[in-house]
């Protein structure tokens, strides 16, 4: 039950409602109370009992909750209904439209002091910003959602924590992203808070930063856990729509508790639609592993599956990252022209602030393709752009490899001193202490 306002606020509200209805204190008090009691209550000098407030609410023709909190009847349930509408909009890929819905909901939740609904709206705004590639704004929304949920159980805070971690990862802050995800996983698993959806979300989100840091074994283990935890749902969007429709009917009939229960089911199913993006990450991971193992046809199939799932979600940034790895597989399969066309199409969605590591990978591969075509000037330009992106992100293993490629190119074109500088830089990154050491792996879930 919502916390009631202080006696002075309730007193002013009773007086205002009484005046609006043209009632005297005597008329409001009868038959159970005296005009003197109403006068004392309206001045805020007495804390009224629930019994007295129910009497006043009935006489004034308002709901008990509205009298004690100032919130219109069924406001929280109505807001939750609109939150599931916004979740549905985001799930279908309309991030800008969903953001408008969430902003309106946030304003109402803040006006009426509804913390849980405020947190949900902030979380939705964070997801919208991430879909649109605005990482800094997304992170601020996730941080505010965490603040709203500071006293809630950890599983309730996981989506906001995960959002914040992914925003750091996409901005190139790999180690901090891993720290956030692993510390949350540890707390969940060690404290017995085995919430499958929360665990799946965290393990799947850890795959990307693990891969970019060179922690391939840990990435493979995270993908295995995520797939094992994945809920088996047929068509969550269809079931969620059904629950939303039922909730509207129940709310119209005044069956608020049942409407809330139906909305909770709809919201959970829309959250699983978001998990579809995370499951795409697992196909992405498998594609990477097959590519590393030389199984290029299987790698291409897995990466195309991941790309299809992400494109269906209109997750442009993630789609671009998968496309870079698919282009690498296509190049290795002898389809360099197709690979280059794919890379040029997606580079606009990547930058130093949005997917720095994959932006560098795209330039690296374009450099290799240019070298194969004997266009050394274009190759060097791509390698240098990739180098600046990787230095910012701190992806040490990739930096060392790129320095070798650049050094080889400079040596072949007769610039020996410059080549030696590139090789030295690469060796420095290869031997830098702690670049891929993440400490102990997080505790395992009870699968």
Q: Is the distance from CB of 308 to CB of 337 less than 8 angstroms?
A: no
**CA distance readout (Å), 270 to 81, 86, 87, 325, 437:** 13, 10, 6, 29, 36
Task: Pull the structure tokens for residue 148.
Answer: 């709203």
Task: Quickly count helices (H) and strands (E) in the chain.
Answer: 22, 0
- Please state, in angstroms and rounded to a whole number, the distance separating the CA atoms of residues 14 and 185: 49
CA angle 242, 199, 266 (to 5 degrees): 10
3-state DSSP: the chain helix, strand, coil percent, rounded to 5? 75, 0, 25
DSSP assignment string, 162-221: HHHHHHHHHTT-HHHHHHHHHHHHHHHHHTT---HHHHHHHHHHHHHHHHHTT-HHHHHH
DSSP assignment string, 217-268: HHHHHHHHHHHHH----S-HHHHHHHHHHHHHHHHHTT-HHHHHHHHHHHHH
**Each residue's pLDDT tens digit in the chain (447 positions)?**
456 778 898 999 899 889 988 899 999 998 889 999 999 999 988 889 989 998 998 888 887 877 887 776 677 778 888 888 898 888 766 788 999 999 999 998 888 778 888 999 999 999 899 877 788 899 999 999 999 998 888 888 998 999 999 899 888 788 899 999 999 998 888 887 677 778 877 887 887 788 777 777 787 788 777 767 765 444 565 566 667 666 666 666 667 677 777 777 777 777 666 666 667 777 887 787 788 778 899 889 989 988 888 776 666 667 887 888 899 999 999 999 999 999 988 887 776 666 677 788 889 999 999 999 999 999 999 999 988 888 776 666 677 788 888 899 989 989 999 889 888 887 776 544 333 345 566 666 665
**CA distance readout (Å), 35 to 10, 14, 45:** 17, 13, 14
N-terminal to C-terminal alpha carbon distance within the chain: 36
Task: Pull the structure tokens for residue 404.
Answer: 């070798």
Task: Pull the structure tokens for residue 289.
Answer: 């592993």
**CA distance readout (Å), 116 to 77, 119, 141:** 11, 5, 14
Task: Pull the structure tokens for residue 334.
Answer: 């002898």
CA 138 to chain centre: 8
**b/e for 31-59, b at 16 or more Cβ within 10 A?**
eebeeebbeebbebebebeeebbebbbeb
Q: Is the distance from CB of 327 to CB of 356 less than 8 angstroms?
A: no
Q: Is the distance from CB of 343 to CB of 368 less than 8 angstroms?
A: no
Question: What is the gyration radius of the CA atoms in the chain, in angstroms?
Answer: 28
Determine the longest span between alpha carbons in the chain, in angstroms.
103
Q: Give the containing element (helix H, strand E) for 436.
A: none
DSSP 4: P
Q: Is the distance from CB of 42 to CB of 29 less than 8 angstroms?
A: no
pTM confidence score: 0.62
Backbone angles phi, psi at 75, to 5 degrees: -60, -50
- HSE-CB of 244 using CA atoms within 13 angstroms: 22
* Cis status of the peptide bond prior to 331, with omega within 30 of 0: no
Q: Is the distance from CB of 319 to CB of 307 less than 8 angstroms?
A: yes
């Amino acid at each position: 039950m919502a916390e009631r306002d202080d006696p002075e606020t309730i007193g002013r509200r009773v007086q205002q409602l009484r005046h609006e209805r043209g009632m005297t204190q005597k008329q409001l008090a009868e038959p159970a109370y005296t005009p003197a009691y109403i006068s004392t209550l309206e001045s805020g000098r007495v804390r009224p009992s629930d019994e007295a407030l129910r009497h006043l609410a009935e006489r004034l023709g308002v709901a008990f909750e509205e009298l004690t909190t100032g919130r219109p009847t069924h406001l929280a349930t109505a807001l939750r209904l609109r939150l599931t509408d916004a979740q549905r909009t985001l799930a279908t890929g309309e991030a800008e439209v969903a953001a408008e819905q969430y902003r309106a909901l946030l304003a109402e939740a803040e006006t009426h002091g509804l913390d849980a609904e405020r947190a949900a709206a902030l979380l939705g705004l964070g997801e919208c910003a991430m879909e649109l590639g605005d990482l800094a704004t997304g992170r601020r929304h996730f941080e505010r959602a965490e603040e709203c949920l500071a006293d809630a159980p950890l599983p309730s805070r996981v989506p906001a924590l995960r959002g914040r971690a992914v925003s750091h990862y996409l901005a190139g802050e790999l180690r901090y992203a891993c720290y956030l995800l692993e510390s949350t996983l540890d707390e969940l698993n060690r404290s017995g808070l085995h919430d499958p959806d929360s665990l799946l979300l965290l393990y799947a989100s850890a795959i990307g930063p693990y891969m970019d840091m060179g922690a391939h074994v840990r990435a493979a283990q995270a993908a295995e856990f995520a797939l094992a935890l994945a809920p088996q749902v047929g068509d969550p969007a269809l079931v969620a729509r059904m629950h939303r429709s039922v909730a509207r009917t129940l709310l119209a009939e005044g069956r608020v508790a049942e409407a809330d229960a139906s909305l909770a089911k709809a919201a959970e199913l829309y959250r699983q639609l978001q998990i579809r993006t995370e499951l795409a990450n697992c196909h992405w991971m498998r594609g990477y592993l097959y590519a590393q193992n030389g199984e290029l046809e299987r790698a291409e199939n897995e990466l195309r599956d991941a790309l299809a799932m992400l494109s269906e979600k209109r997750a442009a940034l993630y789609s671009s990252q998968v496309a870079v790895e698919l282009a690498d597989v296509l190049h290795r399969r002898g389809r360099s022209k197709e690979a280059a066309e794919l890379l040029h199409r997606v580079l606009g969605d990547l930058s130093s602030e949005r997917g720095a590591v994959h932006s560098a990978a795209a330039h690296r591969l374009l450099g290799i393709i240019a070298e194969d075509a004997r266009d050394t000037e274009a190759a060097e330009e791509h390698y240098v752009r990739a180098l600046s992106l990787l230095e910012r992100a701190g992806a040490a293993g990739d930096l060392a490899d790129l320095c070798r490629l650049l050094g080889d190119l400079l040596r072949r074109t007769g610039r020996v001193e410059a080549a030696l500088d590139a090789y030295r830089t690469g060796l420095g990154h290869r031997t830098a202490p702690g670049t891929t050491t993440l400490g102990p792996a997080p505790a395992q879930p009870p699968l």
